[in-house]
Structure 1
Amino acid sequence: MLKKIKVLIVDDSALMRRLIREILQTERSIEVIGTARDGADAIEKVRQLKPDVITMDINMPIMDGLTSMQYILDEFPEIQVIILSSLTEEGKLITLEALELGAFDYIAKPSGTVSINLHVIGREIIEKITAAYKYSRKNRMKKKAVENKKNKVFLIGKKTTSARVSTNVSKVVVIGISTGGPKTLMEILPDIPEDLNAAIIVIQHMPPSFTSTFVKRIDAASPFSFKEAQAGDVIANRRGFLAPGGFQLLVRQSKYKGEYMIRLTKSPSTLFMPSVDVTMDSVLECFGGKNTIGVLMTGMGDDGANSMVRIRKAGGITIAQDEATSVVFGMPREAIERGGAEIVVPSYRIPEEIIKAIKR
């Protein structure tokens, strides 16, 4: 008999609780074992019902979702929490904080705190609950990644400025990442040195209104400057760029000799915008294989897998995150199976592999 995924729904809106339940009842592998009306109620229900996955609202009376989540994960670290958040400015900040504190993933409510059209994201809710359950069953050993996180200190606003920025780009590192990305990026980017002789472009699957907020957290945690990419930005060594949500990020040669610039476009239209494949192909076209380093990390689907194959065939270096440390082993697995991953390592070893690749 198929073991069903036990889900607890936490939302202060009775309508939202009902709509989420209706969506989940369409999936035979999921069982809604209970609902909670606020964060405090959620803690009690978790102790009673022992769910596998929780869908958690953020803004609730008595106790908010973020506080409740921290209590729950402290007592039951094996439970996976998916945040359902509205895209208000406050909601974006708290959602990103929740991801860094251990939430599995987030889902943006389509039309605010009470979204009567929740059905439009029904498939996404089901897919992420399923992915969260599979991840919890892996019981992965975090080892060094956990130790690094505990010992790491982020120096916000205290970047050194000794390294001189050069627009004569040596190499370009393109990192493609999706589900589990925000937390993973905050673990690996601080370990990449400030005097990096390359530029870094990060393609994180994220809604348009999230990237401008998320990049501030990346910039604060990274030894070198990180910004949300804008059309006309010049690619430079020792600089990081986060692709904005809702656009494709392309790299094109500028009219000035030796300079390459960022171009943002709505074409081609793909499932994910930005698309890892689109950006990797663009960088490969401009810089050639020997100057392109492709990195594919945790995420659902196969975005970036084909480009990793093309980069490797062109003589570039390709790095994929291993299964043990991936929140969702989708994108990197596809790259490995298609022959596009020259190097497969745990997430905590990716910074050192990037450094070695740049020095080759």
Structure 2
Amino acid sequence: MIKLLIADDSALMRKLLEGIFRGEGDFDIQLARNGTEALELVRSFDPHVVTLDVQMPGMDGLSCLSQIMIQAPRPVVMISSLTAQGADATLEAIELGAVDFIAKPAGTVSLEIDRMRPVLIEKVRGAVQAKIRPTLRLKERIRHQFRGAGIVSRPIRSDRYGTRKTGPQLKPGLILVGTSTGGPAALDIVLPRLPQQLPWPVIVAQHMPANFTGAFARRLDRNCELKVVEVSRPMLLEPGTIYIGRGDADVVVSSRQSGLHAMPVPARRDYPWHPSVERMVQSALEHYDPTRLIGVLMTGMGNDGAAAMTELRQRGGRTIAEAESTAVVWGMPGELVKSGGADLVRPVDEIAASLAEWIAADAVH
């Protein structure tokens, strides 16, 4: 049996969530009305996974999460409103150690909850498999506290590419990054380590609702040497910029008169996750010489992007899969490795250095 703790100040929400998971038949469930009760049940019930409402009276979700990750680390899935404030709080929760989040229904909860049932079950079951490493989370909490005090550790500015990045000998290229469960925290480690003068643009497909990707891009932009933007409209692909795919849509590479663009397009049913890593990589292969592409597949459930990145490698491109030792869920990168599609398998804190080394070597040839 999977021991699940549901913490929410809404009696209706607790009842609906309990009904969904009891219907699965393999969940042992306890309920908490606020953060204080949740902490007590974490100690006495010792759940495998916790769902935690962000907004609760008394001890709120963020305070409770922080205490859980310090006292008894375990997988936590946040339940957040779709407001701008809810998005910022959710991203803060990811920094504090939550492995995933679920957006609360925007309309009538009792009507919308059935539509959300498959996502709720998938995310909570996936969280049970997630690996929580207290030492890594401690580092993230310390870094988060520095940010709150206005002290942000930025990577050392690098001129390793010199003036060659704009020279005619450097052909255009593109880095493609795909992530899902655990991805925001992984991206928060990789992207700030990319050097300011990186001569290739970066496109990121992180599975996330539309209400969250704008806040996520702004948060990354504050902490990265490179410029970070959400792809809310067609945007010319330029060196030194990271493009975050808009949630609930897909991001593709398209050709226009002014050059190659990152463009948001409506989600398609034949791609089950959005923004789709698979569709992003396939579109890049249509417009770039494959030898000028680098694919990076990091933590996440399922296999999104594994087939397309395997093809990318087969056609002469290069790929990196996050190592199982650091992935919260080794689904997507694991599938890439199993299919023989990974040139390198690296812990999350070594991925940026591998990218910089590849491109720096390219710049001197």
User: Quick check: 1:140–1:324 contact (8 Å CA) kept in 2?
Assistant: no
- For 1:161 and 1:356, locate their aligned partners in 2 and report how far apart those are by CA, in whole Å: 12
Please state whether the residue corresponding to 1:252 is helix, strand or coil. strand
Q: Deviations over 1:283-316 (max 9, x none)?
A: 1221111100000011111110111111101111
Query: Which residue of structure 1 aligns with residue 10 of structure 2?
Result: 13
- For 2:291 and 2:313, locate their aligned partners in 1 and report how far apart those are by CA, in whole Å: 9
> Is 2:41 aligned against 1:40?
no
Query: Which residue of structure 1 aligns with residue 330 of structure 2?
Result: 329
- For 1:331 and 1:72, locate their aligned partners in 2 and report how far apart those are by CA, in whole Å: 27
Measured after TM superposition, the shift of residue 140 of structure 1 is 5.4
Query: Which residue of structure 1 aligns with residue 77 of structure 2?
Result: 82
Query: Which residue of structure 1 aligns with residue 204 of structure 2?
Result: 202
User: Quick check: 1:302–1:331 contact (8 Å CA) kept in 2?
Assistant: yes
- For 2:95 and 2:171, locate their aligned partners in 1 and report how far apart those are by CA, in whole Å: 32
Please state whether the residue corresponding to 2:264 is helix, strand or coil. strand
- For 2:263 and 2:189, locate their aligned partners in 1 and report how far apart those are by CA, in whole Å: 28
Please state whether the residue corresponding to 1:198 is helix, strand or coil. coil
- For 1:190 and 1:127, locate their aligned partners in 2 and report how far apart those are by CA, in whole Å: 30
Distance verdict in 2 for CA 1:20–1:176, change over 3 Å: same
How does the TM-score come out when normalised to structure 1?
A: 0.89
- Report the AA paired with residue 228 of structure 1: E
Measured after TM superposition, the shift of residue 142 of structure 1 is 5.7
Superposition map of 1:291-306 within 5 A: 291-306=292-307
- For 1:113 and 1:326, locate their aligned partners in 2 and report how far apart those are by CA, in whole Å: 36
> Is 2:211 aligned against 1:214?
no
- For 1:148 and 1:106, locate their aligned partners in 2 and report how far apart those are by CA, in whole Å: 18
User: Quick check: 1:169–1:198 contact (8 Å CA) kept in 2?
Assistant: no
Once the two structures are overlaid, the 10-residue window that deviates more, 148-157 or 108-117, is 148-157
Give the one of 168, 187, 190 matched to 1:188: 190
Give ranges in structure 1 of 5+ residues lacking alignment.
Answer: none
Distance verdict in 2 for CA 1:146–1:335, change over 3 Å: farther
Distance verdict in 2 for CA 1:148–1:59, change over 3 Å: closer
User: Quick check: 2:154–2:224 contact (8 Å CA) kept in 1?
Assistant: no
Query: Which residue of structure 1 aligns with residue 47 of structure 2?
Result: 51
Superposition map of 1:258-337 within 5 A: 259-266=259-266, 268-269=268-269, 270-337=271-338
Query: Which residue of structure 1 aligns with residue 344 of structure 2?
Result: 343
Measured after TM superposition, the shift of residue 119 of structure 1 is 2.4
- Report the AA paired with residue 274 of structure 2: M
Please state whether the residue corresponding to 2:203 is helix, strand or coil. strand
Measured after TM superposition, the shift of residue 87 of structure 1 is 0.6
User: Quick check: 1:86–1:109 contact (8 Å CA) kept in 2?
Assistant: yes
How does the TM-score come out when normalised to structure 2?
A: 0.88
User: Quick check: 1:250–1:264 contact (8 Å CA) kept in 2?
Assistant: yes
> Is 2:109 aligned against 1:107?
no
Measured after TM superposition, the shift of residue 126 of structure 1 is 2.1
- For 2:48 and 2:281, locate their aligned partners in 1 and report how far apart those are by CA, in whole Å: 36
- For 2:101 and 2:195, locate their aligned partners in 1 and report how far apart those are by CA, in whole Å: 30
Please state whether the residue corresponding to 1:228 is helix, strand or coil. strand
Query: Which residue of structure 2 aligns with residue 123 of structure 1?
Result: 118
Q: Deviations over 1:195-214 (max 9, x none)?
A: 11211111101011111111
User: Quick check: 1:142–1:325 contact (8 Å CA) kept in 2?
Assistant: no
- For 1:147 and 1:7, locate their aligned partners in 2 and report how far apart those are by CA, in whole Å: 27
Measured after TM superposition, the shift of residue 10 of structure 1 is 0.5
User: Quick check: 1:169–1:236 contact (8 Å CA) kept in 2?
Assistant: no
Query: How many positions carry a matched residue from both structures?
Result: 350
- For 1:210 and 1:245, locate their aligned partners in 2 and report how far apart those are by CA, in whole Å: 7
Please state whether the residue corresponding to 2:286 is helix, strand or coil. helix
- For 2:83 and 2:53, locate their aligned partners in 1 and report how far apart those are by CA, in whole Å: 13
What do you get for the CA RMSD once the two structures are aligned? 2.8
Measured after TM superposition, the shift of residue 147 of structure 1 is 5.4
Distance verdict in 2 for CA 1:161–1:330, change over 3 Å: closer
Measured after TM superposition, the shift of residue 41 of structure 1 is 1.6
Give the one of 90, 97, 119 matched to 1:95: 90
Please state whether the residue corresponding to 1:117 is helix, strand or coil. helix
